[in-house]
Structure 1
Amino acid sequence: MLDTLTQRRSIRKYKNQDIEQELLNEILKAGTRASTTGNMQVYSIVVTRDEKKKEELSPCHFNQPMIKNAPVTLTFCADFNRFNRWCMQRNAEPGYDNFLSFMTAAIDALLVAQTVCIAAEAKGLGICYLGTVTYTADKIIDVLNLPKGVVPVATVTLGYSDEEPEQVDRLPLEAVVHNESYNDFTEDSINQLYKNKESLAENKAFVEENGKETLAQVFTDVRYKKADNEHFSKVLLDVLKKQGFLE
Structure 2
Amino acid sequence: MDTLNYFSTRRTIRRYEPSRTVSIELIDKMLEDAARAANTGNMQTYSVIVSTDPEEIARLSPAHFNQPAITGAKAVLTFCIDFNRFNHWCRINSTEPGLNNLQGFTWGVIDTSIFAQQFVTIAEMNGLGTCYLGTTTYNAGQIAETLGLPSDVVPVITVTVGYPAESPELQERLPIGAIVHHSRYVNPSDDELREVYSEKENLESSKQFVKENNKENLAQVFAEVRYPRAANEQFSRVYKEYLKNQGIAL
TM class by smaller structure: over 0.9
Give the equivalent residue in structure 2 for 1:77.
Answer: 80
> 1:93, 1:205 → 2: CA distance?
56
Give the equivalent residue in structure 2 for 1:237.
Answer: 240
RMSD across aligned positions (CA):
1.1
Contact 1:129 1:156 (8 Å CA) reproduced: yes
Give the equivalent residue in structure 2 for 1:157.
Answer: 160
Match of 1:96 among 94, 99, 109: 99
> 1:186, 1:79 → 2: CA distance?
43
Give the unaligned 5+ runs of structure 2: none
> 1:142, 1:55 → 2: CA distance?
14
Give the equivalent residue in structure 1 for 2:139.
Answer: 136
> 1:130, 1:20 → 2: CA distance?
21
> 1:218, 1:68 → 2: CA distance?
27
Summarize deviations over 1:71-114 as a string: whole Å, max 9, x none. 10000001111000111111121112212111111111100000
Give the equivalent residue in structure 1 for 2:59.
Answer: 56
Q: Where do 4+ consecutive residues of structure 1 move more than 2 Å?
A: none
Classify the secondary structure of the residue corresponding to 1:164.
coil
Match of 1:223 among 215, 221, 226: 226
Give the equivalent residue in structure 1 for 2:177.
Answer: 174
Classify the secondary structure of the residue corresponding to 2:205.
helix
Question: Within the alignment, does 1:185 sit opposite 2:188 as a pair?
Answer: yes
CA deviation after TM superposition for structure 1 residue 21, in Å: 2.2
TM-score between the two structures when normalised by the length of structure 1:
0.97
CA deviation after TM superposition for structure 1 residue 65, in Å: 1.8
Aligned amino acid, residue 79 of structure 1 = D
Contact 1:11 1:163 (8 Å CA) reproduced: yes
Contact 1:5 1:118 (8 Å CA) reproduced: no
Classify the secondary structure of the residue corresponding to 1:194.
helix
Give the equivalent residue in structure 2 for 1:7.
Answer: 9
CA deviation after TM superposition for structure 1 residue 2, in Å: 4.7
Give the unaligned 5+ runs of structure 1: none
Question: Within the alignment, does 1:86 sit opposite 2:89 as a pair?
Answer: yes
Query: Once structures 1 and 2 are overlaid, which stretch shifts more, 204-213 or 76-85?
Result: 204-213
Q: State the aligned residue count.
A: 247
